Amino acid sequence: MTDDLHTNPFEKIDTNQVAEDLHIVEDSQRNARRGRPALDSAEDDLDPTERKVIGLIESAQAQAQQVCESELKAYRERLVALDFREQLSSIDIETAKQRAEFDQHVDKAIVELSREQQGLRRKKEDMQQFKEQNGLHREPQPRSWDDKIFNVGIIAVLFLIETFGNAAFLAKGNEFGLFGAYTEAVVISFVNLCLAFLLGILVTNFNHIHWGRRSVGIISAAVFIVFALFFNLMVAHYRETTGTVLD
């Protein structure tokens, strides 16, 4: 009944059931055979059947009105129990608190963004200065981790190839055979690749715009060529010497 209060506060009356309970059809037929009500009877002169119907409707109306008043009373009590001013005050306090926290986060984010912006500006200035000093007009091309891993992989492959090659080359003149030659080959390959790697870094200055660093690159290239020839000739001489001694 409470859910239907706003749309239908009165209970629906089943007319068929009422007619059956009050025996309206039987009474009407019986009164008709007796000539009731008379044709000249007044409009307010109701027969017993009509009074029963009116009484039933009035009873349902009184019951619905009682339920409606009870529901309205319950709603009035609920509205009185609600203190809207206290609720609004709590909402205002919580809103102010959340707004203050939000403002703190915003201020902190602004400071961090400002710091990052200043750092980015300095990096751009440094990059522009570097480009002007070195006569560069292209944008920087930073190397990714994939490129670095690829380069390390190439060095590792070259190390293995040179190690096995030197081991096979030195095995004939080594008293411990392939194992001893492999140990010597590891040392030779390590020294060869490390020095070549370091000199290779210096050789990158070969095309530098400044003559000082370009001179370093040219000298490094010459040193690398001399070192490569000398080192490999020394290894070959070592192999021949050890082979002759063992023979």
Same domain? For 183 and 155 the reply is: yes
pLDDT at position 245, please? 43
Q: Is the pLDDT at 180 greater than 70, yes or no?
A: no
Q: Is the pLDDT at 31 greater than 50, yes or no?
A: yes
Last residue of a domain, one of 37, 64, 82: 82
Same domain? For 89 and 72 the reply is: no
Residue 6 in domain: no
Residue 2 in domain: no
Residue 104 domain boundaries: 84-140
Same domain? For 75 and 114 the reply is: no
Residue 4 in domain: no
pLDDT at position 11, please? 65
- What integer is the mean pLDDT of 179-190? 74
pLDDT confidence band for 98 (50 / 70 / 90)? very high
pLDDT digits over 39-74, tens only?
555 555 666 777 777 888 888 788 888 888 888 888
Distance CA 229, CA 118 (A): 52
pLDDT at position 111, please? 92
Same domain? For 236 and 180 the reply is: yes
Residue 7 in domain: no
Same domain? For 63 and 88 the reply is: no
Of 43 and 82, the one with more pLDDT = 82
Same domain? For 179 and 117 the reply is: no
Last residue of a domain, one of 140, 171, 188: 140
Which pTM was predicted? 0.36
Number of domains in the chain: 3
Same domain? For 229 and 202 the reply is: yes
Contacts made by residues 6-13, CB under 8 angstroms, sequence distance 24+: 9/64, 9/67, 9/68, 10/60, 10/61, 10/64, 11/60, 11/63, 11/64, 13/56, 13/57, 13/60
Residue 174 in domain: yes
Of 225 and 38, the one with more pLDDT = 225
Last residue of a domain, one of 67, 82, 97: 82
